[in-house]
Chains A and B, each alone.
Chain A
Amino acid sequence: MIGRRLALASGAVTLLMLVAPGGLAHAHVQTGEASGFLTGVGHPVSGLDHVVAMIAVGLWGAQLGAPALWLLPVTFPMMMALGGLVGLLGVALPGLEVGIAASAVVLGLVVMFALRPPLAVAVALVAVFAIFHGHAHGTELPPGQSALLYSMGFVVATGCLHGVGIAIGVIHRWRWGQTLLRTVGAVVALAGIVFMWRAIA
């Protein structure tokens, strides 16, 4: 049994080494690497369509409470990175801008109506939209910058935007806060409609 597993694992490692291109290993710290991190941080916050959608994820998580409160912000970066990976592998994603705009519309609406679907549905919804966001932004590394530091900045900024949404969502514990939160959801949905108009027009 162990031998079979070892054989399988060895085969997988061999396959991986054969398909993954081996490059040069530069162990030195290169000049300008910090800009890769800053570029990554700046990317998610540079587009309002991304900002509102990611904050809406945090807002919805705060509305739903645990475990969605942390499960949605955990799901989003991982699926977003998967979307980025798909993009980096050269797989095109049709309707990219429409998908991003739709994420703002749908997430805005669920916050506005304070919808409480089953947890799996909520996670799946966020996961699908995250792929669009990752595909659009995860692959835009400027030449000469560190891919790792760019990825770190990109993921950290995304997580912080969720954190902002969760922090705002704290007001959900008060009645006036619930109303305000739903109003913010409506604003997000309206912004999404504008993004959709731009994407289609």
Chain B
Amino acid sequence: MSRRALTAVSALTAILALTLTPAIADAHLVTTGLGPVYDGLVHFALTPEDLIPALALALLAGLRGASHGRRALFVLPAAWLLGGVLGLTLPHSLSAPPTAISFIFIGALVAADAHISLSATTALAATLGATHGYLNGAALTQPPLGATAILGIATAVFTLVALTASTVVPLRAAWSRIIVRVAGSWIAAIGLLLFGWSFRPPS
């Protein structure tokens, strides 16, 4: 088998593993009474599995500067929206492992104050948004939620990144940047524990 064919088969297998592994998604959103957009918005705010990785990415982008912050501001919600639509059309769901990996990987980058390139920030935002958006979409298939709720979630993501990155970008004092890095280490630590919990059968 040629190298190109091997790469294609590996990528296809990974996609199949990602999309087909678990089977059931039970979604019961918090109902605000204000319609699916606000339901999606509140869902994001009340779901630490989504909120914290997005926060971590915003912290990372903020630490790296304004250009990274701007890139994350648009790429993350867009990818989230796209992933959500994909999740709606391919309604399967993953559970803790991808979420835990988001926590660990991005949290560790924040803790290390990693000097990543702009394209790396873009790739990270796209991957994070697509994965978590997909998870949201797969869990929100029942009417009247669907794409409108995903739009609400993407709006919340945009707002979170805008507020967080714009707070972190101007930080110059060493102690203030250290606080951000400590937050990153906490996020990574939570991810490690969460990853461990995924190997435990539910009690």
Interface positions of A (Cβ within 8 A of B) = 3-4, 6-7, 9-11, 13-14, 16-18, 20-29, 66, 70, 73-75, 77-78, 80-82, 84-89, 138-139, 141, 143-144, 147-149, 151-152, 154-156, 159
Contacts and interface: CB of A to CB of B under 8 A. Distances in A.
Interface string B157-191: 00000000000000000100010011001101111
Q: Which 7 A-B pairs have the closest CB atoms?
A: A22-B22, A88-B196, A28-B28, A81-B189, A147-B197, A81-B192, A17-B17
B65 interface: no
B22 A25 contact: yes
29 contacts: A3-B4, A4-B3, A17-B14, A21-B198, A22-B97, A23-B22, A23-B96, A24-B25, A24-B26, A24-B93, A25-B94, A25-B138, A25-B139, A26-B28, A27-B25, A27-B29, A27-B47, A27-B140, A28-B26, A74-B181, A78-B108, A81-B188, A81-B191, A85-B195, A86-B196, A89-B196, A141-B197, A148-B194, A151-B189
A151 B10 contact: no
Nearest to A12: B14
B203 interface: yes
Interface string B13-43: 1100110011111111110000000000001
A82 B192 CA distance: 6
Interface in B99-140: 101, 108, 111, 135-136, 138-140
A33 B93 CA distance: 21
Contacts, number: 171
A9 B178 CA distance: 31
A154 B203 CA distance: 19
A143 to B, nearest CB: 4
Given A27-B27, A78-B188, A151-B197, A70 B7 contact: no
Given A10-B11, A74-B185, 10 more contacts: A13-B17, A17-B17, A23-B198, A24-B95, A25-B22, A25-B24, A25-B135, A27-B140, A89-B199, A148-B197
Given A7-B11, A88-B197, A24 B22 contact: yes
B111 A74 contact: yes
B174 A147 contact: no
B150 to A, nearest CB: 12
Contacts of A6: 7, 10-11
